[in-house]
Each structure stands twice: as C-alpha cells, then as structure tokens.
Chain A
Amino acid sequence: MKHPENLVYSRSHEWVKFIDETTALIGITDYAQDALGDLVFVNLPEVGDEVTSGEPFGDVESVKAVSDIFSPVTGTVAQINEDLLDAPENLNEDPYGAWMIRVEHITDKEELLDAAAYIAFYESEEE
C-alpha cells in the first residue's frame, strides 16, 4: 500500500495536497480505497459550496455500502473532479491521481499526519 511522502493525511483516511497555504486537493487514501472495495458511485459537492473541517462533503458507494467522505479543511470548493462521476473506479485504480475536490480560501484545518504517522495510525487502529 502506497502513501506518498509529499501528502498529508487525516484520521478519516483522506489525503490533502497543499498547492499553496490556502488551496488544496483532497482525495481518499490507498488504505481507504482498499478497505471500501470496488467503488461504483461518487457524490461530490458543487463548485462554490463551503466545506467544513471534520464534516462530510460527499460520499462514495461500493456495491456493498455508502461511506461519507470528510473534509479535513474548512474552505470553498473551487473545482470538482468531474471525471470521477463517470469513472468512480479511478479512486480504486489511482487514489492519489483521482483527487475529488480542490478547496480554496482555506481558513482552518484539522491536525494532519505525515505519511509515516498515518501508517502508524491505521495500523494501531487495526489492532
């Protein structure tokens, strides 16, 4: 399982890539996609929607279940990855290429983990 060093991670299994101090791409981690299984549907917010740190901004569905995706930051949705609406399997195949939303005007964020700390976190959670 891969968790790139240049990203930071939330305890709810999203990754965040800061483009600058107040702009970031958000997606789900390799660990998350593996745990969720084959994804067949994605629900994303609309451009202009506000997202809040610790609250769901969308959901993904596998054949078995629906799972909320939480925003690790507070800000405004600047762009959504529309490709995912027709190809949710991209989240499984390329979780770090398949960003879900780009958030700008970030005013707040939760405590995020680096790759090593994130791996240690989910491994401890599994025990």
Chain B
Amino acid sequence: MELKTPLYETHVQHKGKIVPFAGYLLPVQYGSGVIAEHMAVRTACGIFDVSHMGEILCEGRDAVKNLNFLLTNDYTVMADGQARYSPMCNESGGVVDDLIVYKVREDHYLIVVNAANKDKDFVWMKEHAFGEVSFTDISASVAQIALQGPKAEAILRKLVPDEMIPEKYYSCNFDGRIGGIRCMISRTGYTGEDGFEFYLAAEEAQRLWELLLETGKEEGVICCGLGARDTLRLEASMPLYGHEMTDDITPFEAGLGYFVRMDKGDFIGRAALEERGAPKQKRVGLRVTGRGIIREHCSVYADGKQIGVTTSGTHCPYLKAPLAMALVDCAYTEPGTQVEADVRGRRVEAEVVRLPFYKRGQ
C-alpha cells in the first residue's frame, strides 16, 4: 500500500499522472509533459513535491562526533544554517545512502535522506549511535517543496523580504515565513539550477504550493513531476542512489571522492576504502554517437570486451541528446574514448565525455 504525500490531492487537481514511487503515490508528470517541465526548469521555473524524502533529526552533545563517524564528509567546522552533502558508507566501503546534513545549531542537525532508504538509514544510524545522541525520524510530519530554475529567486523575492532568502548555495534559513506559512528555506536542489527547497508542516503544504504557483505565474512556473526530476538530475550529472551508488559501489568509484575526507579520523567504511586503494572502475559520461537511447543496465564494450555497465541514461531534453552515465574500467575513462553499449541486443556507439553534461551558466 503506497502512502500519499500531503500534496496528493493537489497533484490530482492539477491533473498529475500518478505513479507509485519509493512507497509513495507521486506525479510522474503533469499535462504539459516531461520535456516541457524539464525546459521550464532550465529556462524559467518549476515546482516539485519532494515530500517523500526522509527527515531525521540528530541531536545531543555527541551529535557531531556521530555524524563524523557515520558519514564520509567532515562536519567538524560548520556554520549554523549551512548544508553539507555526504555519502554514508557501510563497512566494506559501499554506499548505504547519500544525504544532506543541515546544521540547525550547536548539537542540533537535520539529516535529509532518500525516501526509499529512509527506514534502512534510520536503523543504521541508531545501531551505530554512541555517547549522548538521539536520532528522531520526523518524515511523516514534514512536507518538502522544491522551487527550481533561473526565475526561482525572483518569485521568492515577491513573497519574502530579501534578508530572509539564503544567499549562498547550500545554506538555509530555519525561520522563513512565506505568506504567513512557517518554513525552512534552503538554497539547494537536484536539478542543476539555482533554486530553493522549502521544508514545512505537512498541513501547510497545499497552501504554499498554490501560493508559489500563483506568484510565479508571470515567470512561467509550472508543476513538475518525477520524470523531469530524473532527466534534470541526469543532464546535470548528479548521482542517484541505486544507480550511480549502491551497497557495492564506493564513493570513489561514483566520482564522489571530494566528499570523502580520509584525513578526518575514523568513520564507517574508512578501513575498507583504504584497503581497496585506487578504484578500478569510475563513473563517466557517455554521449551517443550512433542511433538510439542508452538506458541503465546496458553493458558497455571497447576493444572487443566488456568494460562496464551503464547506471542511468535517457534522452536529455535541454541538451537534446541521448546521454548516459556508466561505471567503466579506469583504462577507458579518458574523454573521447569510443565505446559501444548493448541496447536490447543492438550495439549503439557512444563516446566518453566529461561530466557534468550540463552546468548552469555555461
């Protein structure tokens, strides 16, 4: 039985095409379609329901020590209101989940995790807790709405005083108030564009959704579904758990080495990552040079042998090209390397390209 987010009725009213995803009923697209929604986010603005994401509080005198042990990134020095991404590794160096930690204030942190992994993550965190710390799953009472695109800031400016808007990417304001609705305003997102994510009480979600939609009319804001969320993140080359990272794929292989601080002291998975040494395979971008679309789980070949497998892939609407990400043997990661992918029994030619495929302002 799938759960409904606090915005379920809103999606139905706006004619969203509802599908089950990570245990929730969510819109995969609205009437305008995935391509129009994708383009709206690249050129104007889109609004997404991401209430399925999990929120876990980590609190107590040993909160930061616990975070530093659970996660690969370093949380020692952090300002209040700052956000920091990290993989969370298992003992063998594979990835349990990837997540974002917000520092609320000293000894108080908010962890945002993937919907499909939430229960697993919560158990994992509690199992590994030590000292004075508590983990509390508050997901059921929290709604999350993302406003993404080059016009997102202009829309928000119509609703709140300038000083309420977090200036820096990956920072937030916990005391936001939009049209009388209390919310946390975070300058983050999963689209490759500037934008905001609003965390608020579930019962206020519908009102904020309609307010943002109404306020952003002039700027061209439209409702966007999971389909566009996936094409946007792929085009921006952002990894997705279960695709670019799994229990068996390390952060180094996934190209997330920047978020692994080997020098910070011990953490879960550190010993295994050290022992494994330099990765033998790495995440690369593939651009189709032949005819077709390369999706996930396609074998990748070069020099007459299999060198890897794709982890995500589809036609990317803004770049108007079929693109894929793949995990391949390190000898084949140089941009320009010619490869082939097996697409349902047919070989499709592709070329290794530098990631990200798309970066805003370029």
Do residues A41 and B34 form an inter-chain contact, with CB atoms below 8 A?
A: no
**Known contacts A37-B29, A41-B322; A64/B292 CB under 8 A:** no
> When A and B form their complex, what is the total count of cross-chain residue pairs whose Cβ atoms lie within 8 Å?
39
Which of A62, A63, A66, A92 has the largest count of B CB atoms less than 10 A from its CB?
A63
Question: Is A50 interfacial (CB-CB < 8 Å)?
Answer: no
- Complex: A62 Cα to B29 Cα, angstroms: 12
Question: Is A112 interfacial (CB-CB < 8 Å)?
Answer: no
Do residues B292 and A62 form an inter-chain contact, with CB atoms below 8 A?
A: no
A interface size (C-beta, 8 A): 11
Main secondary structure of the interface of B (DSSP, over half): mixed
Question: Is A40 interfacial (CB-CB < 8 Å)?
Answer: yes
Which of B33, B36, B38 has the largest count of A CB atoms less than 10 A from its CB?
B33
Do residues B34 and A38 form an inter-chain contact, with CB atoms below 8 A?
A: yes
Note all chain A residues with C-beta closer than 8 A to B227. 37, 63-64
Question: Is A61 interfacial (CB-CB < 8 Å)?
Answer: yes
B interface size (C-beta, 8 A): 18
Do residues B315 and A63 form an inter-chain contact, with CB atoms below 8 A?
A: yes
A-B contact pairs, 24 of them (CB 8 A): A37-B29, A37-B33, A37-B34, A37-B227, A38-B33, A38-B34, A38-B317, A40-B315, A40-B322, A41-B293, A41-B322, A61-B293, A61-B315, A62-B34, A63-B35, A63-B231, A63-B314, A63-B315, A64-B28, A64-B34, A64-B227, A64-B230, A66-B344, A92-B33
The chain B residues found within 8 Å of chain A, CB to CB, are: 28-29, 33-36, 38, 227, 230-231, 292-293, 295, 314-315, 317, 322, 344
3 smallest beta-carbon distances between A and B, as pairs:
A40-B315, A38-B35, A38-B33
The chain A residues found within 8 Å of chain B, CB to CB, are: 37-38, 40-41, 43, 61-64, 66, 92
